[in-house]
């Protein structure tokens, strides 16, 4: 190999990988095969970005990944289950393989977090990351339960007040008092009064709120 070419190869290998475009905050992918419906909130400080990974406990199988812009509010919907959670952090994103390059830092929770849903409650978590002791650390983690309230609203949208049916039952021996027998057939005389018709619309509204 010519000396000049070998030198160029060595220089190229020594250069850091070029930074890629910063991904948008939110879900990168969900490979769990399960619907993502449960809340995970992460608060961070500005200065670095984060990639969050959810893994099955005691495995290296990553099932969910998301990207966090440091210092910005972050909310991710995750699938039900118990997950190990870890964060890669750094300043220059270089893709899902290299993450933030050689300067990538890591922090992991010391135990799995459980996410589950009930009839009217969805259980998630909120994690707070801060800088301290020369690095990133978990300041707190707390349950985050979302309650769902069901509101039923009904409304009368139509009422038929013009229906006929106020016909009189003739008493034996009394003449019918109607003036026009052609207009009111005899077989119509025995009809009982009928109420007007109503059309009722029902709306179901589900509202979510943080449980007390």
Tens of pLDDT, residue by residue over 79-90, are 999 999 999 999
Enumerate residues 6+ apart whose C-beta is below 8 A from 123.
38, 114, 115, 116, 117, 143, 144, 145
Confidence of residue 109 (pLDDT cuts 50, 70, 90): very high
pLDDT in tens, 37-67: 999 999 999 999 999 999 999 898 899 999 9
Rounded Cα distance, 209 and 145, in Å: 9
The candidate with the shortest Cα–Cα distance to 52, out of 73, 29, 32, is: 29
pLDDT in tens, 166-185: 444 555 554 554 455 455 45
143 versus 147: which is more confidently predicted? 143
pLDDT at 69 over 60: yes
**Degrees to nearest 5, angle at CA 75 with 71 and 80:** 145
Give me the helices (H) in the chain, please: 3-14
Predicted pLDDT at 7: 43
**Phi, psi for 52 (deg, rounded to 5):** -105, 140
pLDDT in tens, 19-45: 679 999 999 999 999 999 999 999 999
The candidate with the shortest Cα–Cα distance to 187, out of 172, 174, 170, is: 170
């Amino acid at each position: 190999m010519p000396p000049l070419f070998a030198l160029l190869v060595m220089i190229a290998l020594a250069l850091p990988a070029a930074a890629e475009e910063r991904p948008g905050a939110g879900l990168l992918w969900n490979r769990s095969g399960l619907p993502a419906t449960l809340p995970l909130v992460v608060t961070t400080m500005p200065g670095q970005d984060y990639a969050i990974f959810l893994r099955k406990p005691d495995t290296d199988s990553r099932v969910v990944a998301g990207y966090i812009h440091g210092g910005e509010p972050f909310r991710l919907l995750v699938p039900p289950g118990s997950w190990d959670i870890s964060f890669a952090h750094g300043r220059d994103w270089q893709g899902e393989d290299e993450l933030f390059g050689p300067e990538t830092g890591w922090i992991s929770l010391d135990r799995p977090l459980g996410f589950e849903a009930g009839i009217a409650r969805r259980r998630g978590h909120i994690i707070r990351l801060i800088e301290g002791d020369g690095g990133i650390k978990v300041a707190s983690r707390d349950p985050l339960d979302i309650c769902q309230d069901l509101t039923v609203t009904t409304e009368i949208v139509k009422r038929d007040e013009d229906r006929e049916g106020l016909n009189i039952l003739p008493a034996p021996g009394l003449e019918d008092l109607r003036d026009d027998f052609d207009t009111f057939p005899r077989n119509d005389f025995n009809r009982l009064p009928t109420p007007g018709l109503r059309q009722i619309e029902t709306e179901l509204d589900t509202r979510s709120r943080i449980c007390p």
